[in-house]
Structure 1
Amino acid sequence: MNLSLEEAWKLLREGASDRHSPLHTPSVATVTGDGVPSQRVMVMRAVDQPGRLLRFNCDSRGSKVAEISRKPAVSVLGYHPQAKVQLRLSGTGRIQSSGPEADSAWEQASLYGQRCYLADPAPGSPVAAPTSGLDPAMEGVKPTPEQVAPARTHFAILQIAVDKIEWLYLAHSGHRRALFEWNGTANHWHGRWLVP
């Protein structure tokens, strides 16, 4: 059973470091103010297995930020077709727009990535015509550090402290499914097999 948990973390680490991994862009779900699930595909930027943390970059003006501030329950879903593994994770989300971790994530982002946070109006705002939200002069060109510097005020990170991992392996001979839950008191994962 522990091998399944280790494989889950291995696939997550690969997802964060390899942009070609199917787990590089999992679906992240939050809960709206009306209690409705809200999903979006996000790029997983970092995984800290000992800390049980997943990190994503986001715009501090986006709806997910308000949703997590109101109700921090978050779920993550990814599927790796080559490994035939589906991962369903749940935990607590936390938004950071300042501090060393957010600053470090900003510095690690490419200039093109940083440029996204220059969008005006804010993500999700209604507009009369299709737009990236960027000044047309900024579209299709690599910006300079000076040009993207104002975008830092809109940049934030989403960290998810994972407390449940459901691992599902799909096989012709018979699927296998396990659930791992974090026991904070004992400081370890507790796992059990489930019927797929």
Structure 2
Amino acid sequence: MEESFFKVIKAELINGTVKKRHPFRYFSLATLSQGVPRQRTVVLRKMTTDLSLIVYTDTRSQKVMDIKNNPEVSALFYHPKKLMQITIIGEAQFVTDKQVVQQHWSSISNTSRRDYITTLAPGTSIKQPDAVDYNAQDYNFTVLQIVPNRIEYLQLKRPNHLRIAYTKKNTSWKGQFMVP
């Protein structure tokens, strides 16, 4: 029975990559920064066959520094109409294959590329919003792959909420019902 809910998780995550208005398109990614949790919203760009999540970020961002110090991350997805929450715990890895990174870079629009060509790093203070300079010759684009090792599914419903934790053993997933 747990397998049917696992299929739902996969389908919803895939929808988040292909449907621009799907609630899973944007999710919260949490890292640890000097022992303090930091959360930010990121865009789900792709999901691989092993359920790894692909996101893009600026190489100079705080999340990159956080992941270099501690690659354990948490991703939180919420579907308000279905009252469904999915939490993914895993390890963030930097994609280092230059050809793969270039393929991802080529797949994004010129408008979106502006996010990765600012002369100053994200989070740098500026005098006004229009004071951002760009350098198209020098992009700071990083592809992150979040490799899950635990996935929790929570379905809010009556008469009983439903919660299942899936843990990865080698290449397979095992589900266990939990008290919601």
- Bucket of the pairwise TM-score, normalised by the shorter protein: over 0.9
Counterparts of residues 155-194 of structure 1 (less than 5 Å):
155-184=141-170, 187-194=171-178
Distance 1:14 1:69, change over 3 A: same
Query: What are the superposed Cα offsets for residues 124-179 of structure 1, whole Å, 9 maximum, x if unpaired?
Result: 112233347245xxxxxxxxxxx84x243x01111100111100001122210000
Counterpart of 1:45 in structure 2 is 45
Within the alignment, does 1:29 sit opposite 2:30 as a pair?
A: yes
Determine the C-alpha separation between the residues in 1 that align with 2:166 and 2:59: 31
Q: What letter is aligned with 2:176?
A: R
Note the alpha carbon deviations across 1:54-73, whole angstroms, 9 max, x for none: 00011001111111011000
8 Å CA contact 1:97–1:155 kept in 2: the answer is: no
Distance 1:120 1:108, change over 3 A: same
If the length of structure 1 is used for normalisation, what is the TM-score?
Answer: 0.86
Q: Any stretches of 5+ residues in structure 1 without a counterpart?
A: 136-146
Runs of 4+ in structure 1 deviating by more than 4 angstroms, as ranges, are none
Query: How many angstroms apart in 1 are the aligned matches of 2:92 and 2:22?
Result: 23
Distance 1:54 1:132, change over 3 A: farther
Question: Structure 2 unaligned runs (5+)?
Answer: none
Alignment-derived partner of residue 14 in structure 1? 15
Structure with greater helix share of residues = 1
Q: CA RMSD in A?
A: 1.6
Identity between Structure 1 and Structure 2 (%): 28
What is the CA-CA distance between 1:118 and the residue it aligns to?
Answer: 1.6
How many residues are paired up?
A: 179
1:22-171 maps to which residues of 2 (within 5 A)?
22-32=23-33, 34-48=34-48, 50-96=49-95, 99-131=98-130, 133-134=132-133, 148=136, 150-152=137-139, 154-171=140-157
Contact 1:114 1:151 in 2 (8 A): no
SS in 2 for 1:120: coil
